[in-house]
């Protein structure tokens, strides 16, 4: 049983789910997301993360749009339209903003991180490692691979293209990925769920 299924079956549905008055729908949504935050840890940062996700979800729920727009973006087309680009960017920005609270050790740290996002101080660590050019380029390449293969079950697993049909190119790609995993893994960051 997944955490989502457990919350739905043992908390959300017994509370009344999405049936009832608007107040009950709002209450149930906040309870689910805040309990989800509390499940991740007994810290105000996780509660804030759950609260933000409830705020993000409520407009969809109240308008009845929570089950719409779950298809692939730009299905059958190479590029998304302007509206789809805005939707993707806003979803990404809101998700990453909530993750600040999820990853921060304390609320004051989370607020400090948010403050520093709007300065150039976050670029300083990249400048000392030579990553200020390499990292954005790597992210752009991986995003392009992901986008082109978005209709496949596992985008990176099913990479296709004339270049990667050659063994040398394909194995070079694999070696680069292994090198990146080892290089990034050398920083010895513990898996986040080991702390719970």
Asked which of 26-40, 96-110, 113-127 is least confident by mean pLDDT, the reply is 113-127
Asked which of 13-22, 27-36, 71-80 is least confident by mean pLDDT, the reply is 71-80
pLDDT digits (tens, 9 = 90+) for 125-155: 656 666 667 777 878 887 887 787 777 776 5
Q: What is the pTM of this model?
A: 0.70
- The domain limits of the chain are 1-119, 124-196
Report the percentage of the chain scoring pLDDT > 70. Answer: 76
pLDDT digits (tens, 9 = 90+) for 52-86: 999 998 888 888 777 676 677 888 888 889 998 89
Asked which of 18-27, 49-58, 151-160, 163-172 is least confident by mean pLDDT, the reply is 151-160
| Residue 40 a catalytic site member | yes
Q: How many CB atoms lie within 10 A of CB 102?
A: 20
Half-sphere exposure of 67 (CA within 13 A, CB side): 2
161 band by pLDDT with thresholds 50, 70 and 90: low
pLDDT digits (tens, 9 = 90+) for 32-57: 999 999 888 889 999 999 999 999 98
pLDDT for 128 equals 62
Q: 12, 25, 40, 100: which one is catalytic?
A: 40
pLDDT for 182 equals 79
Answer positive or negative: Cα dihedral of 155, 156, 160, 161: positive
With a CB cutoff of 8 Å and minimum separation 6, the contacts of 133 are: none
How far apart are the C-alpha atoms of 27 and 15, rounded to whole Å? 9
């Amino acid at each position: 049983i997944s955490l989502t299924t457990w919350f739905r079956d043992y908390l959300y549905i017994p509370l009344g789910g999405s049936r009832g008055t608007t107040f009950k729908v709002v209450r149930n949504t906040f309870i689910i997301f805040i309990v989800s935050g509390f499940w991740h840890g007994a810290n105000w940062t996780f509660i804030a993360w759950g609260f933000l996700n409830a705020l993000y979800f409520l407009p969809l729920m109240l308008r009845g749009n929570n089950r719409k727009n779950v298809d692939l973006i730009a299905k059958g087309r190479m590029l998304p339209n302007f509206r789809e680009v805005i939707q993707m960017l806003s979803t990404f920005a809101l998700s990453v903003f909530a993750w600040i609270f999820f990853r921060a050790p304390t609320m004051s740290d989370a607020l400090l991180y948010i403050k520093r996002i709007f300065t150039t101080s976050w670029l300083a660590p990249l400048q000392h490692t030579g990553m200020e050019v390499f990292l954005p380029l790597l992210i752009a390449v991986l995003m392009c691979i992901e986008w082109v293969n978005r209709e496949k079950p596992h985008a990176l697993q099913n990479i296709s293209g004339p270049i990667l049909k050659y063994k040398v190119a394909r194995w070079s790609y694999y070696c680069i990925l292994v090198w990146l995993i080892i290089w990034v893994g050398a920083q010895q960051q513990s898996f986040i769920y080991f702390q719970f």
